[in-house]
Amino acid sequence: MAAGTGRVLPLLAVAAALAAALLYTAPFSKSLGGEGCSLLPHGHFWIASQRVVALGRVGPAAVEVKEGLINAIAVGDYRSFVLRRPLVDYGDAVIMPGLIDVHAHLDEPGREEWEGFSTGTRAAAAGGITTLVDMPLNSFPSTVSEETLKLKVDAARDKLYVDVGFWGGLVPENALNPSKLESLLNAGVLGLKSFMCPSGINDFPMTNSTHIEEGLVTLAKYKRPLLIHAERIPDVSSDEELDGELDPRSYATYLKSRTPAWEESAVRDLNRAMKDTEVGGRSEGAHLHIVHLSDSKTTLDLLKMQNTAAQKSL
């Protein structure tokens, strides 16, 4: 038997996927009282299984939970190690750290027929995801103000099966208004999301370089990130994009519809904006994250160059 100290993770990250997704009620040891399978009344206990995902392996183990945090992991024959502490043995059910999905679209209010809080969070639990962070668009209205965030929170009440956080939107109507952005950030969003091309959602218009630069200034104060959909659509399509008859069912046609040049153009703009995040800049310390990256050549090289330059400026 080997025992080691595990990473400190929330209790729900260990148990929620098992309890909510597998709907498995385990036998309790006599020392663990309570109704159902809730472990919440117990400040110090162990959970065990023949299939625990921990320490780079899957196998028999027990996880010690103390005051809501993982305190230790006992691998192998854990019975003597657990001693008199309450223990729940989940048999062959999998115990694993809960996954966190920071790019989810829970389209409520307004477009529940696409996805809603109840269906989305239940599906997450079924897949072992214990935390979702909701994107600010696809619901109606989009989450771009303190007021629209409140609508989101109200719509989520009594419908959540996992933990949920929210991103806010950086759009032209709030990007140049620090007080609007600050009220949205103070209301609890974890950061902001922006599109550099049309998003397809009418109340979530695209931003330009000025909007992004000003948004980063406000975000730097709050130490929260800006997430960017990085594509710049050229004013005129290239001859290559328009060349020949294109089969709308072909994957090659799809690739031509969004060329690497769009992404490269956007990333070059972002690299210029990131100059202000360096030491002494207007948005010193601000963080920017590109949410989709498809070009593994030029665009990736541009990002590596920017990161290298940023490290040298520290």
The CATH number of whichever domain residue 232 belongs to comes to: 3.20.20.140
Preceding omega of 260 cis (within 30 degrees of 0): no
Residues 130 and 35 both lie in one domain: no
69-105 exposure pattern, b = at least 16 Cβ within 10 A, e = fewer: ebeebbbeebeebbeebbbbbbeebbbbbbeeebebe
Residues 111 and 252 both lie in one domain: yes
Beta bridge partners of 101: 132
For residue 36, what are the contacts with CB-CB under 8 A and spacing of at least 6? Answer: 25
Q: How many domains does the chain have?
A: 2
Residues 30 and 147 both lie in one domain: no
- Residues recorded for the chain: 314
Tell which of 95, 126, 152 closes a domain: 95
pLDDT number for residue 38? 58
Residues 210 and 84 both lie in one domain: no
For residue 80, give its domain range: 2-95
Residues 151 and 55 both lie in one domain: no
Tell which of 63, 95, 127 closes a domain: 95
Residues 222 and 282 both lie in one domain: yes
Q: Which has the closest alpha carbon to 228: 236, 242, 216?
A: 216
Residues 83 and 173 both lie in one domain: no
Residues 289 and 258 both lie in one domain: yes
Q: Which residues of the chain have pLDDT under 70?
A: 1-40, 84, 236-245, 309-314
Residues 169 and 277 both lie in one domain: yes
Residue 233 near residue 199 (C-beta atoms within 8 A): no
Residues 177 and 214 both lie in one domain: yes
Residues 20 and 165 both lie in one domain: no
pLDDT number for residue 236? 59
Residue 275 near residue 288 (C-beta atoms within 8 A): no
pLDDT number for residue 151? 98
Q: Report how far residue 238's alpha carbon sits from residue 257's, in angstroms, rounded to the nearest whole number.
A: 11
pLDDT number for residue 11? 37
pLDDT number for residue 245? 65
pLDDT number for residue 313? 54
Tell which of 95, 114, 143 closes a domain: 95
pLDDT number for residue 248? 84
Residues 135 and 77 both lie in one domain: no
